[in-house]
Structure 1
């Protein structure tokens, strides 16, 4: 019975459903049609071995997914405890730090808050920026690219003229990216050395934030904290598509440590947690790919 269940996940059943299905939008197969489907079934001993192997594989995938969920819950709890509220003092803190965190407007502590449309009018953007599907001078980085870690969607490129025109949103230095039209609340830290292309510029519907005096990775973690997310929701338009603009973002008041050493400590700590989360996700994805390959190759 176990092998029959595993076999039902194989590509053959899907192909059979597409061939024999009702022709509706959804692929569906009736019980009578399934009775007519021919199967190649191994002897009971081989069934047991295949079933046990794939059962262990499923259990391992579930284990890594659960570890990832636990780490995400831990991160969420720490974002509440390790970032100060209006009191100016976090509930949990590293040894050696005791100074009060300061409340300041984001626009007063960050030198660069800009976006794609800062380059000029929509007419000048249409004239100077042409999207290309083939590799060109630079890559246009969209929030969808960052969300998918540059997989599953086709990249977009621009020529040198467009790259120079969009110099304000060049991703040649560490930056924090906030989507400001749709997906508001997401936060992406960008290290230029980790991008897949040599030259990169930020695409539309996102705001680029960069500081020369603060730890930019720390800022990306601060933007994920519950206090900042709560403040951001207050400036997001509640009607229609969610959005906010640069001016509204600059006015948000933030509570943060002015001691760069404390910023660095928090940055390193959350980098470690993010790495652990990514590792569990990577292991899970590899095992899922392995399972898919086995289902294709271990059944006739």
Structure 2
């Protein structure tokens, strides 16, 4: 007898009983144009345009992007390029190791500047079926990382193409409200972790200062 495919996770918020859906990523998103813009386009002065370079995704400079994010400024001649919007997801398509394949960033608020997708990125815009912020968390899961490992190509630099990425089967709640609740609890945990990390850094500095006075 064939094993019945699970229709929802065991751990779930109360009040939700509908089966989850499973669809290929390519059905759940549309693609936004990315541009082969490298570090050479960055400028030191402030402009009205920023970009997401794949290196900034790998170093978490581009992660959960809001108006306070420290992304690089680029020349305003790029302002006419296709811009990213709230809830868009940007995926790094190249990495020096398999662990970094398809690392992702997401835009979590409306931005006071134009932002575009730069070198070695794949930009995704979710349809009405799924939240981009939910997809961002999906790209952090072990299941997705295993998928990236299996389809990644290359020897010294590993890569993933849009066509391969679009084949990944995403498991998600049908109700947007349930997606938003999952996003909320995961984001709260991230914020708590960040606060504790900053506290640890402050305590480490205090310890260092005390040791210097011994």
Taking structure 1 as the reference length, what is the TM-score of the superposition?
0.57
CA contact (8 A) 2:21 2:171 kept: yes
Q: 1:206 aligns with which of 105, 114, 121?
A: 121
Please tell me whether Structure 1 or Structure 2 has the larger radius of gyration of its CA atoms: 1
CA contact (8 A) 1:133 1:155 kept: no
**In the alignment, which residue of structure 2 is the partner of 1:104?**
23
CA distance in 1, matches of 2:71, 2:136: 24
Deviation at 1:230, TM superposition (A): 2.3
Q: How many residues align?
A: 197
CA contact (8 A) 1:232 1:252 kept: no
Q: 2:200 aligns with which of 269, 284, 291?
A: 284
Q: Give the CA RMSD over aligned residues.
A: 2.9
**In the alignment, which residue of structure 2 is the partner of 1:186?**
103
Kindly indicate whether residue 52 of structure 2 is the aligned counterpart of residue 133 of structure 1.
no
Runs of 4+ aligned residues of structure 1 deviating over 6 Å after TM superposition are: none
Kindly indicate whether residue 86 of structure 2 is the aligned counterpart of residue 173 of structure 1.
yes
Structure 1 residues 210 and 286, CA gap change in structure 2 (3 angstroms)? farther
Structure 1 residues 294 and 202, CA gap change in structure 2 (3 angstroms)? farther
Q: 1:142 aligns with which of 41, 44, 53?
A: 53
CA contact (8 A) 2:54 2:94 kept: no
Deviation at 1:155, TM superposition (A): 5.9
CA distance in 1, matches of 2:122, 2:184: 24
CA contact (8 A) 1:138 1:163 kept: yes
Query: Higher strand proportion, which one?
Result: 2
Structure 1 residues 86 and 231, CA gap change in structure 2 (3 angstroms)? farther
Structure 1 residues 229 and 173, CA gap change in structure 2 (3 angstroms)? same
CA distance in 2, matches of 1:131, 1:243: 24
Deviation at 1:96, TM superposition (A): 1.5
Deviation at 1:212, TM superposition (A): 4.2
Query: Higher helix proportion, which one?
Result: 1
CA distance in 1, matches of 2:71, 2:9: 41
Deviation at 1:293, TM superposition (A): 5.3
Structure 1 residues 113 and 245, CA gap change in structure 2 (3 angstroms)? farther
CA distance in 1, matches of 2:60, 2:210: 25
CA contact (8 A) 1:114 1:246 kept: no
Deviation at 1:181, TM superposition (A): 0.4
SS of equivalent to 1:227: helix
CA distance in 1, matches of 2:88, 2:137: 12
Taking structure 2 as the reference length, what is the TM-score of the superposition?
0.77
**In the alignment, which residue of structure 2 is the partner of 1:39?**
none
Deviation at 1:145, TM superposition (A): 3.4
Unaligned runs of 5+ in 1: 1-84, 118-124
1:250-299 C-alpha deviation (Å, 9 max, x unpaired):
12222222211211111111111111111111212233344455666x47
1:64-115 C-alpha deviation (Å, 9 max, x unpaired):
xxxxxxxxxxxxxxxxxxxxx9523212111112222222111111123543
Structure 1 residues 222 and 250, CA gap change in structure 2 (3 angstroms)? same
